[in-house]
């Protein structure tokens, strides 16, 4: 496992043994496509057309202020879900090859801590020293690293039924914790940004600064239910790898499980609102259900039916997803886009020029990833 560029297996969280899931790379790329720059394309089209459809689409590519759900909220947990799906093919394969649990555990912990460190770098950069109090330690990569690490520890030391128990125990326990606690001075079960127990614990114990001052959406206590998101991916990957059903049946059962989880989420929402900031238990079920639906479709079309060519665009992104996520720290993408395609903006009608440049911005990033793909260079963690 390495944190530097090196030819090798392209999964950003380690190798995926002999049973390569093309659909997993494609779905990961589809997920990252929206923060690669696709959301800017939608936003610019919405501004240019003032169409209710595109304005509504653009609104879905934002985060709600607190409670609620927009499709943009899916990007983060879907990535974590897919990291879990890869575990039976990577961590599981290491165990099958005869490596001791302790050895595999150390690798999993190392991966998790590297992601935490990369998250701190992504938040704060390394351009200049900051006072400790100004460093933000909570991060997207940090939560992925910690949730991935703990989910895999459970995977290494337990069987499937115990993993299912852990999945439900963590989110039910988290629900009860927030239902019967609050920040001092607030009523029990308060779920406002200032009054909820999760934000209060982060204010007490999370070092450095919080993203919103009184709350950090990637704080440490809310990592507990995020472990269940990773576990759901692990359970899904184990079913794909070891299940006795044929591919079509697996797709159907995953889709059905997704629908059931969405129904559970909507019911749970009545008592414990869907909230990405707190990674509430209803949020875990909702994004888990949607992730299962997406994966079931990608898996059926790509790996079961063999229709792969259409997904190559996304596969190129998915095979270097962490690299492109971090790339803004060492590549000035907007500068590169203007340098290459500025002339196209200058000859385009004023109303559509921003749309064209947003598309060019994505193209520049994609061809960079395509070059890396052709050179077989992948950022492994």
**pLDDT tens digits for 328-349?**
888 999 999 999 999 999 999 9
Please name the residue that has the structure tokens 């934002």.
62
In whole angstroms, how large is the CA radius of gyration of the chain?
Answer: 21
Q: Do the beta carbons of residue 292 and residue 257 sit within 8 Å?
A: yes
| pLDDT higher than 50, residue 302 | yes
| pLDDT higher than 80, residue 368 | yes
| pLDDT higher than 70, residue 6 | no
pTM of the model: 0.92
Q: Do the beta carbons of residue 259 and residue 289 sit within 8 Å?
A: yes
Distance CA 241, CA 86 (A): 10
Count the alpha carbons within 13 Å of 344 in the hemisphere toward its beta carbon.
Answer: 15
Distance CA 212, CA 214 (A): 6
SS3 379: strand
Mean pLDDT of the chain: 92
SS3 273: coil
pLDDT at 127: 62
Q: How far is CA 36 from CA 59, 118, 222, 356, in A?
A: 17, 18, 26, 15
In the chain, domain spans = 5-379
Please name the residue that has the structure tokens 């720290």.
329
- Three state DSSP letters for 161-228: HHHHHHHHHHHHHHHHHHHCCCCCCCCCCCCCCCCCHHHHHHHHHCCECCCCCCCCCCCCCCHHHHHH
pLDDT at 5: 39
Distance CA 241, CA 155 (A): 14
**pLDDT tens digits for 39-87?**
999 999 999 999 999 999 999 999 999 999 999 999 999 999 999 999 9
pLDDT at 124: 86
Q: Do the beta carbons of residue 266 and residue 281 sit within 8 Å?
A: no
**pLDDT tens digits for 150-180?**
999 999 999 999 999 999 999 999 999 999 9
Distance CA 80, CA 372 (A): 23
Angle at 269 between CA 263 and CA 273, to 5 degrees: 145
131 class by beta-carbon count within 10 Å (0-12 exposed, 13-18 middle, 19+ buried): exposed
């Amino acid at each position: 496992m390495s944190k530097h560029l090196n030819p090798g297996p392209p999964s950003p969280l380690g190798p995926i043994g002999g049973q390569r899931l093309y659909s997993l790379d494609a779905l990961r790329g589809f997920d990252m496509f929206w923060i690669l720059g696709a959301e800017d394309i939608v936003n610019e089209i919405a501004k240019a057309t003032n169409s209710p459809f595109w304005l509504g689409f653009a609104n879905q590519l934002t985060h709600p202020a607190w409670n609620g759900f927009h499709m943009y909220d899916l990007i983060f947990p879907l990535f974590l879900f897919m990291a879990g799906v890869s575990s039976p093919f990577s961590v599981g394969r290491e165990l099958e090859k005869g490596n001791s649990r302790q050895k595999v555990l150390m690798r999993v912990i190392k991966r998790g801590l590297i992601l935490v460190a990369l998250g701190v770098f992504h938040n704060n950069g390394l351009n200049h020293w900051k006072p400790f109090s100004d460093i933000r330690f909570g991060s997207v990569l940090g939560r992925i690293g910690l949730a991935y690490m703990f989910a895999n520890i459970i995977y290494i030391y337990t069987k499937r039924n115990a993993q299912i128990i852990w999945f439900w125990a963590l989110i039910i326990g988290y629900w009860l914790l927030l239902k019967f606690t609050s920040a001092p001075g607030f009523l029990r079960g308060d779920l406002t940004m200032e009054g909820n127990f999760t934000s209060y614990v982060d204010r007490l114990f999370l070092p450095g600064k919080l993203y919103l001052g009184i709350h950090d959406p990637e704080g440490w206590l809310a990592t507990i239910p995020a472990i269940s998101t990773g576990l759901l991916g692990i359970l899904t990957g184990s079913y794909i790898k070891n299940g006795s059903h044929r591919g079509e049946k697996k797709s159907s059962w995953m889709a059905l499980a997704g629908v059931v989880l969405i129904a559970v989420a909507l019911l749970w929402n009545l008592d414990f609102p869907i909230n990405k900031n707190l990674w509430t238990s209803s949020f875990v079920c909702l994004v888990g259900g949607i992730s299962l639906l997406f994966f079931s479709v990608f898996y059926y079309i790509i790996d079961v039916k063999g229709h792969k060519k259409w997904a190559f665009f996304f596969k190129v992104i998915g095979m270097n997803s962490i690299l492109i996520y971090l790339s803004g720290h060492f590549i000035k993408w907007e500068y590169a886009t203007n340098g290459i395609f500025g002339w196209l903006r200058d000859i385009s009608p004023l109303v559509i020029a921003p749309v064209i440049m947003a598309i060019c911005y994505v193209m520049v990033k994609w061809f960079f990833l395509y070059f890396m793909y052709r050179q077989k260079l992948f950022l492994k963690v």
